[in-house]
Amino acid sequence: MRDGDADVTTLDTLLAQDTHDIKVDYNGHAILVTYDAAALTPELEARIRAAGDEGTREVADMVVALVHGWDLEETEGVPLPITSESASRLPVKFLAVVVAGITKDLVGDPLLNATSDAT
């Protein structure tokens, strides 16, 4: 319900970039990942779940849609670009660890557990 003086919230506002930094552990290596929480929508989540049946290339593309930065390097001093091509060369287990880390970060977010008093 809108009050006469209340600001209007648009879809664009909700989808505005909302970056978070997390550390994920992959085989004993702590990797910093910066992701966009606003990019994880129910539509993208459904695609992630369905990708198990469709193949891992889809998961790589979805990681690229969520991740805005990481401290992975192609070779020492050369950052690994965040592209579908480079993500498709990463181990599936690593991609799963990144998605799990993002999900855990969001589920632990108190805002996601907030309830509305509105009726």
Q: Is 58 exposed, middle or buried (0-12, 13-18, 19+ CB in 10 A)?
A: middle
Q: What does residue 71 show for φ and ψ, rounded to 5 degrees?
A: -100, 35
Residue 35: which H helix or E strand, with range?
strand 29-36
14-33 pLDDT, tens digit per residue, is: 777 789 999 999 999 999 99
- Separation CA 104–CA 80 (nearest Å): 24
Report whether pLDDT(117) > 50. no
Q: Which amino acid is at 45?
A: E
Q: Supply the pTM of this predicted model.
A: 0.73
Q: What is the pLDDT of residues 74-90, one digit of tens each?
A: 999 999 999 989 999 99
pLDDT of residue 13: 76
Percent of the chain residues topping a pLDDT of 70: 80
Which of 54, 46, 61, 69 shows the shortest CA–CA distance to 95?
61
Query: Poorest-confidence range of 36-45, 47-56, 97-106?
Result: 47-56
